[in-house]
Structure 1
Amino acid sequence: MKRKIAIATAIERLNETLIEKINNKYTCEIVLYRGYLIEHAFDIVILSSRLDGEEDLETTFLELIKQGKRIIFLTTSDNEEEKRLCIKYGVFDIIFDSLKPSDIIHLIENPKSVKEMSHVIETLREKPDDNNESKTNSLKVEIVDESINQPKSEPTKKNIVHKINKLTKKNSLLDVDSNELNGKENNTLDKMNLYKEGKKEPKEDIERPVVTIIKDKIIGTLVIAVTGSMQRIGTTHTCISIASYLKSLNQSVGVVEMHESDNFSILRNAYEDVIEKEKGFLLNGFHFYSYEDSINFFEILHNDFNYIVLDMGDFKTCNKTEFLRANIRIVVSGVKDWEIPNLDQYLKEKDLKNKSKYYFTFSNKELFKFVKYNLSGLECYMAPFTPDPFTVDENEVFSSMLKDVIPTNTMKKKKRLFNIWKGGIGK
């Protein structure tokens, strides 16, 4: 039986090169977040700290080692913390700095011995552990292209389908042979209804807030509702990112938690520069209303915000009435096999399907291109990698997504919330 290898570097070019070189010999899968590594069976994990996930790097190491998974770790030669972590958990298959795919492939078959890593161990023993700030996700590497002189063919639709076929099982929403929705029972929509349905005149929204967008300003309060195709797909992160972007345009923004959750309460207790208000709290220049505040949404509409962003949670359980009332509706989804069928359920809402924007998290460019091709006619966007939602580095995505509701005279300024945590949380 082929050994199963997880390629979890979060370095797109390296991931693709490894898949092309070793997929015939091993069963390979590109992994986009840490939790998936822990929950699924792999023999070998090719890992870097750039991989996203709720688990910290040490927890990831511990869980993988407990399960008997072998780790090949990519880091930089000056990252003492990550080297110490590797030695602590007996991970000696480390590759530093400039990465050659051939070196990684060689290491798969030829694990390093303690003797080969003795110089690293001795160096760490001579240096005290000064507990400096973590360098997690700071990996900066040069990927050496060993085929630099070989001409690269232009990507074609056929090539894209071929590559996606390696990464995506055929029981997902997307049928890689027909480039259409799979028509399997109890799993997906009828593809004729989804892809060949003619455009219909949209129905009038229910009690839509009255908002006027003119060239230099917005009159009234515009409501943006964000829902997820499933739980824990990133709706809260997306709401804060959108609010941060709008705040950078000098707009007043309120963010409302419209589902039972403690995410906003955790935020309230985590940051030192929170300003408590009679209702809700201020953080990073905009106003949060947590679910536990029990605020009437219509009260918030009278607070003279330019924009209100609603965190609706999972669409299956969200307040669909308020979602329908919103001026802008955003659906957050993933692209993995087990995530796509959940988006399927939303697409059955024919009145909403063509009047929503679709925001795909944890995707690379190639997967997104394929998904967007199959969702032809729907407004799709790929979420960039942004671990900190208070950092305004999604300007290009959100400026395109919200272009019809942003005054044209707004000045785009980047602003980052400095992360000062209480009591050691997040250190």
Structure 2
Amino acid sequence: MIAFINVAGCMDRIGTTTQAVQLTRFIKSMDYDVAYMEMNDKNYIKNTNNVYSDYEEKDTGIISVQGIDVIPRHKYIDIKKGGSNLDFLIIDHGCVNDKRFDRKEFLHGGIPILVGGIKANELSETENALRDNEMQKAFFVFSFVEEGDNEELLLNMGRKKDETFFSPYFPDPFVQMNESKEDYFQQVMSAVMLRVERG
């Protein structure tokens, strides 16, 4: 049975797409059938067709970029009804403040992962999301945080500290991983899989 992992950012340009694409790449490296879906209006994937040489639009509507299968959003309902042999679908919901952000689907349509930060321009949006009681069910990823700040941030996360992760720096959503990045995603997926198994 397919597991849905929903990724959203507390604000724009916080690394949401990078997290979703890299998570897809990591799960694929574990020999699962996995694909990425862009459930927002950014059209990031379509705009990469002139950037990556390994970009292919298939007759099925699926786009392959750097070995990652990208399924068009109009196929979402069919997949939800069981029309897929995938093990995982990683869904990029964009920013929680977007007009078309589907809060219900993000929180209740799979395992939610929320991406935030602590820079001056990120902090208020991150704090707003953390104060939202419903968002407490999401795993939390901090992007662009100095390693020395991790311990203090974990203390401030209270009961969410075991569901909080710190992303290494990714200069490009499709860049190959090194060992530290694999370790990070292994931690995230271990927590996600526990929740998947609990149903």
Aligned with residue 326 of structure 1, among 87, 91, 109: 109
Aligned with residue 66 of structure 2, among 270, 280, 284: 284
Q: Name the counterpart of 1:295.
A: 74
Contact persistence 1:335–1:371 (CA under 8 A): no
Distance of 1:404 and 1:338 partners within structure 2: 29
Q: Name the counterpart of 2:197.
A: none
- In the TM superposition, 1:352-367 aligns within 5 A as 352-353=135-136, 355-367=137-149
Please tell me the root mean square deviation across aligned C-alpha atoms, in Å: 1.9
Give the letter for the 2:190 counterpart: K
Distance of 1:347 and 1:381 partners within structure 2: 14
Distance of 1:270 and 1:386 partners within structure 2: 17
Moved over 3 A (4+): 404-407
Deviations for 1:41-69, whole angstroms, at most 9, x for unmatched residues? xxxxxxxxxxxxxxxxxxxxxxxxxxxxx
Aligned with residue 370 of structure 1, among 152, 159, 163: 152
Q: Name the counterpart of 1:343.
A: 126
Is the alpha carbon distance of 1:274 and 1:382 closer, same or farther for their aligned partners in structure 2, counting shifts above 3 Å? same
Distance of 2:79 and 2:63 partners within structure 1: 13
Task: Considering Cα pairs closer than 8 Å and 6+ residues apart, tell me whether 1 or 2 has the greater RCO.
Answer: 2
Which runs of 5 or more residues in structure 2 are unaligned? Answer: 195-199
Contact persistence 1:224–1:327 (CA under 8 A): yes
Give the letter for the 2:35 counterpart: G
**2:171 matches 1:387:** yes
Contact persistence 2:37–2:89 (CA under 8 A): yes
Is the alpha carbon distance of 1:314 and 1:406 closer, same or farther for their aligned partners in structure 2, counting shifts above 3 Å? same
Contact persistence 2:18–2:170 (CA under 8 A): no
Contact persistence 1:233–1:333 (CA under 8 A): yes
Query: Percentage identity across aligned positions?
Result: 24
**2:34 matches 1:253:** yes
- In the TM superposition, 1:156-305 aligns within 5 A as 220-277=1-58, 278-289=60-71, 293=72, 295-301=74-80, 302-305=83-86
How much has 1:247 moved relative to structure 2?
Answer: 0.8
Q: Any idea what SS the aligned residue of 2:36 has?
A: strand
How much has 1:226 moved relative to structure 2?
Answer: 0.6
Distance of 1:365 and 1:284 partners within structure 2: 29
Q: Any idea what SS the aligned residue of 2:97 has?
A: coil
Contact persistence 1:229–1:346 (CA under 8 A): yes
Q: Any idea what SS the aligned residue of 2:158 has?
A: coil
Contact persistence 1:335–1:367 (CA under 8 A): no
Distance of 2:133 and 2:2 partners within structure 1: 27
Deviations for 1:280-328, whole angstroms, at most 9, x for unmatched residues? 2112333113xxx551412234221111111111112211121023332
Q: Which of structures 1 and 2 has the bigger CA Rg?
A: 1
Distance of 2:141 and 2:150 partners within structure 1: 10
Distance of 1:271 and 1:258 partners within structure 2: 21
Is the alpha carbon distance of 1:240 and 1:333 closer, same or farther for their aligned partners in structure 2, counting shifts above 3 Å? same
Q: Any idea what SS the aligned residue of 2:112 has?
A: strand
- Structure 1 or 2: more helix by fraction: 2
Tell me how many residue pairs correspond in the alignment: 184
Give the letter for the 1:234 counterpart: G
Q: Any idea what SS the aligned residue of 2:120 has?
A: coil
How much has 1:276 moved relative to structure 2?
Answer: 1.7
Q: What is the TM-score normalised by the length of structure 1?
A: 0.41
Distance of 1:229 and 1:342 partners within structure 2: 6
Give the letter for the 2:54 counterpart: D
